[in-house]
Chain A
Amino acid sequence: MNAKTAFTPQLLEIDCDKELDKISEAIRNTLGRMLHKRGLVLGISGGIDSSVTAALCVQALGKDKVIGLQMPERHSAEDTQGLSSLLANHLGIREVSIDITPILEAVCYYDKYDEAVRAAVPGYGLDWKSKIVVSDITEDKAYTLFSVVAASPDGRMVKERLELSSYLSIVAATNFKQRIRKMLEYYYADLYNYAVAGTPNRLEFDQGFFVKQGDGAADIKPIAHLYKTQVYQLARHLGLPEAIINRPPTTDTYSLPQGQDEFFFSVPYEVMDLCLYGKNHGFSAGDVSRHTGLTPGRVSAIYQDIERKRAATRYLHLAPVLVTEVPEIVCDPIVKKDLG
């Protein structure tokens, strides 16, 4: 238990001016002294994380040294393109739009995904919509289990737990989206001698909510140390458009709208931030429960799940493992301690 400070949600409040200066300096130093690149490319989706990351890149480098890639596909939310363009116009950055549907069709993503869902929901047809959801870890069960929720054209909803082969097939196919987007980001980075900015927030980074060599790949991740609550604080401080700030967090991955809490965390991000902060700073489950609406038992279950997800997703953070060290080559970047 943290004996020095009482736990309150206000502990997540940051000095936005100081944070902006810190991140700007880190971006400039990283690009200029470490990476030797001339600007930054990032994928923009109209979501809060990519929007704040883009704004921070502009703050650090100027709008002429930032390129935003919009990469929608068949299942993208209807407001994704509009909000992405809104952001790009607001920041004055160059925006490149690439529909990745043909690329996904070329790798048979849609066929593979539909086939995997059909194994769990036999009646699943081409005009159905679906999403993947996770079991509620606050129900005192220790296992994170995945189900597919499918909606028929006449509005029937079907939910089926995914068995191993269906789950792996869906994950493998869906990961194409993030990896194809990253491939395009690095194409533009190479074209302009730029680096690639990743956009995970602290919760996503900590809990492995990204695809290896997909959205997990980047040269710099300017907001990976910030709780999502803090990302929103910066968004307001930077004066980002209200439509972006007010948009509900979404994975924007499936044909049915899917909140990020439905897929990975099973509780709203505001609650997860408090739990993650509480755990990271030694607060008891009881301290945190008073501000989350959850029982101490459920906060304890979340604490335990945080550790299990860290263990299960540790491999996503690893650089390639060498059998024997090659001491002349430094693989791990130097991270300034005050960014931790």
Chain B
Amino acid sequence: MMKHESEVRKFIAEKFFFGEDNKVPSAASLLDAGIIDSTGVLELITFLEEQFKIKVDDDELVPENLDTIAGICAFLSKKIT
């Protein structure tokens, strides 16, 4: 499992599936799967900033960083020093 993956998966399960394990593939697009919409992106950003004490800059709000579990974990690894 990638670093931070369990925390990210727990957030997705609790926020969007009421605790049910959704088994989202790490490389699956959260947007295309209908798991996250524009409000969901804001919820994800809030989670990342509060949980990991980071600031997501405007130019970091791109699918590469936020649209897959793998992408989110890679983004966190870069941001958290």
Instruction: Give the residues in chain A near B28, CB-CB below 8 Å.
Output: none
Assess whether B34 is in contact with A311, with CB atoms less than 8 Å apart: yes
| Residue A142 lies at the interface, judged by CB distance under 8 Å to chain B | yes
Instruction: Give the residues in chain A near B63, CB-CB below 8 Å.
Output: 141-143
| Cα–Cα, bound, A165→B49 (Å) | 13
Interface hit among B5-13, B18-26, B38-46, B73-81: B38-46
Instruction: Give the residues in chain A near B31, CB-CB below 8 Å.
Output: 142-143, 308
Instruction: Give the residues in chain A near B43, CB-CB below 8 Å.
Output: 164
Assess whether B45 is in contact with A164, with CB atoms less than 8 Å apart: yes
Instruction: Give the residues in chain A near B66, CB-CB below 8 Å.
Output: 143
Assess whether B42 is in contact with A311, with CB atoms less than 8 Å apart: no
State the Cβ distance, A112 to closest chain B Cβ, in Å: 18
Assess whether A145 is in contact with B38, with CB atoms less than 8 Å apart: yes
Instruction: Give the residues in chain B near A141, CB-CB below 8 Å.
Output: 61-63
What range describes how many residues of A lie at the interface?
10 to 19
Instruction: Give the residues in chain B near A146, CB-CB below 8 Å.
Output: 38
| Residue A98 lies at the interface, judged by CB distance under 8 Å to chain B | no
| Residue B37 lies at the interface, judged by CB distance under 8 Å to chain A | yes
Main secondary structure of the interface of B (DSSP, over half): helix
Assess whether A143 is in contact with B34, with CB atoms less than 8 Å apart: no
Fill in one digit per residue for B40-65: 1 if any A CB lies within 8 Å of its CB, else 0.
01110110000000000010011100
Assess whether A143 is in contact with B41, with CB atoms less than 8 Å apart: yes
| Residue A29 lies at the interface, judged by CB distance under 8 Å to chain B | no
Instruction: Give the residues in chain A near B41, CB-CB below 8 Å.
Output: 143, 145
| Cα–Cα, bound, A143→B32 (Å) | 12
Instruction: Give the residues in chain A near B37, CB-CB below 8 Å.
Output: 308, 311-312
State the Cβ distance, B55 to closest chain A Cβ, in Å: 11
State the Cβ distance, A139 to closest chain B Cβ, in Å: 11
Given A142-B67, A143-B38, A312-B38, verify A164-B61 contact (CB < 8 Å): no
Shortest Cβ distance from B67 into A: residue:
A142
**Could you tell me which A residues sit within 8 Å of B by CB distance?**
141-146, 161-165, 167-168, 308, 311-312
Top 9 nearest A-B pairs (CB, nearest first) are A312-B37, A164-B42, A144-B38, A142-B63, A164-B46, A143-B41, A311-B34, A142-B31, A164-B43
Q: Would you give 15 A-B contacts (Cβ < 8 Å), ordered by A?
A: A141-B62, A141-B63, A142-B31, A142-B62, A142-B63, A143-B31, A145-B41, A146-B38, A161-B58, A163-B42, A164-B46, A167-B42, A308-B31, A312-B37, A312-B38
